[in-house]
């Protein structure tokens, strides 16, 4: 079962290593991990997508909390009415004459942008939730994906729920 964990950390050297080491030494999986500074550059937010049963996820959250430089650890709710998640992908597709229009049609349907064009390729930029991203990749795959770069998932809670600095 997939879980998204949002970790607010003090922006100090080694904190990303500490988080990654924790996953590897304790045998947890990381499906994706993104990290960047928050509005306050003293802090960074790490969004981790991982999998495991509830006991494992509880341990992961506790272990993350135990790191001295983590300020807050929250497992984000899975339902879409409580939490929004997005992933950015850049996808270079081989675009020979006969499929160029097909790629354009697909990208139009998804609302993806063509950000680079060459005689043989199109590069698409797209952001969406996991289901949409996977659907787009599934459609482009038979046409011929030359290169795929994914940002990993970021997520935010809806409305008035904040993950703020108070622990």
Is 63 a binder of another protein (CB under 8 A)?
A: yes
Q: How far is the CB of 84 from another protein (least distance, A)?
A: 26
Q: What is the enclosing helix (H) or strand (E) of 62?
A: helix 54-66
According to CB under 8 A, which residues from 17 to 46 bind another protein?
17-18, 21-22, 25
Which of 1, 37, 40, 66 binds another protein (CB under 8 A)? It is: 66
Instruction: Report the C-alpha gap between 51 and 82 in whole angstroms.
Output: 20
Instruction: Report the C-alpha gap between 51 and 28 in whole angstroms.
Output: 8
Phi and psi dihedrals of 46, rounded to 5?
-110, 125
Instruction: Report the C-alpha gap between 11 and 43 in whole angstroms.
Output: 5
Q: Which stretch binds another protein (CB under 8 A): 11-19, 85-93, 132-140, 155-163?
A: 11-19
Alpha helices for the chain (secondary structure H): 15-25, 54-66, 97-110, 130-144
Q: Which stretch binds another protein (CB under 8 A): 16-24, 31-39, 78-86, 137-145?
A: 16-24
Binding site for another protein (CB under 8 A): 9-10, 13-14, 17-18, 21-22, 25, 55, 58-59, 62-63, 65-71, 165, 167
């Amino acid at each position: 079962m997939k879980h998204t964990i949002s970790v607010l950390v003090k922006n100090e050297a080694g904190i990303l290593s500490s988080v990654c080491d924790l996953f590897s030494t304790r045998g947890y999986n990381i499906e994706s991990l993104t990290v960047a500074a928050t509005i306050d550059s003293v802090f960074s937010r790490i969004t981790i997508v991982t999998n495991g049963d509830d006991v494992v996820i509880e341990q992961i959250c506790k272990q993350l909390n135990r790191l001295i430089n983590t300020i807050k650890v929250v497992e984000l709710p899975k339902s879409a009415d409580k939490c929004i998640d997005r992933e950015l992908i850049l996808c270079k597709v081989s675009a020979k004459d006969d499929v160029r229009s097909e790629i354009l049609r697909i990208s139009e349907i998804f609302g993806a942008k063509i950000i680079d064009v060459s005689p043989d390729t199109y590069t698409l930029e797209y952001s969406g939730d996991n289901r949409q991203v996977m659907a787009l990749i599934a459609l482009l795959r038979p046409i011929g994906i030359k290169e795929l770069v994914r940002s990993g998932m970021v997520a935010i809670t809806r409305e008035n729920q904040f993950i703020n600095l108070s622990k």
